[in-house]
Structure 1
Amino acid sequence: MMFGLFKKKPKTLLDQFIVAAYGDRPPKARRADLGMAVDLAHSSLLMGAVEKSEISDIARGLFDGEIPYSTHDLALATALNFFKRPELREDLATAQLMARLTALGWLQEGKVVPLLMKSFEATLYKAFK
């Protein structure tokens, strides 16, 4: 190959995560409904304990990124952001139990990818034991 022009670019950690979560042919187009993901994170996962505007800001940042989230994946990833915050631990202590059950139901229905669910559960287990 001349001057390395046709070399494949090396896979980044993000590329590796996307393939691990979504397979060798991840969806190219955005699949998530941003508004619905915010509503799901607010009501179904965080039980209204976090302001919707804060949730929306985080969800927008994730939505604009490279990961091809489904609506439920985006809701889970967004909520995870808040469950990780030590200053919210007390406010989210009850919500995390319902969030775990809700997320498990979504996994069983095929609405979230197993790798994201595993990360969600591991993080909540560690934070709330």
Structure 2
Amino acid sequence: MQITLRLVDAGADELGVLEDWLRSERALRRVLIRRDYAPTRPGDMGLLTDCLQFVIDAGLVSVMAQSLIDYWRSRADSRPAEDRPALRIERVDAPDGTRVVTIEVSDPETAEAVLRELPSTLE
């Protein structure tokens, strides 16, 4: 399945930190992670839309979810709640190409709860 991860309203280097974090996870090293840049929409301010895309086998979704939980915990306490980016996870490989699941959370407790349920929502 193809998964897209976005950090909404994140600093320019935040997605790179997340990418490095995921790449350091031994079980995810064989997963191809691609950084994707898309232009902002007309009228939008800011930088390019930036996301991580990867194709992952269903058996590794729980590894990815746990790695994201660990990442979120490590970063959550380092900044005030209003400065934390939201994590948006999209599954984009439905047979007709539509998005099946889109999850967006910003507080650590909700992020952890959602990520713990992620594997079952993507099966």
Task: Give me the TM-score of the superposition, normalised by structure 1.
Answer: 0.38
Q: Which has the higher helix share?
A: 1
Q: Which has the higher strand share?
A: 2
| Structure exhibiting the larger radius of gyration computed from Cα positions | 1
- The higher relative CO (CA closer than 8 Å, separation ≥ 6) is in 2
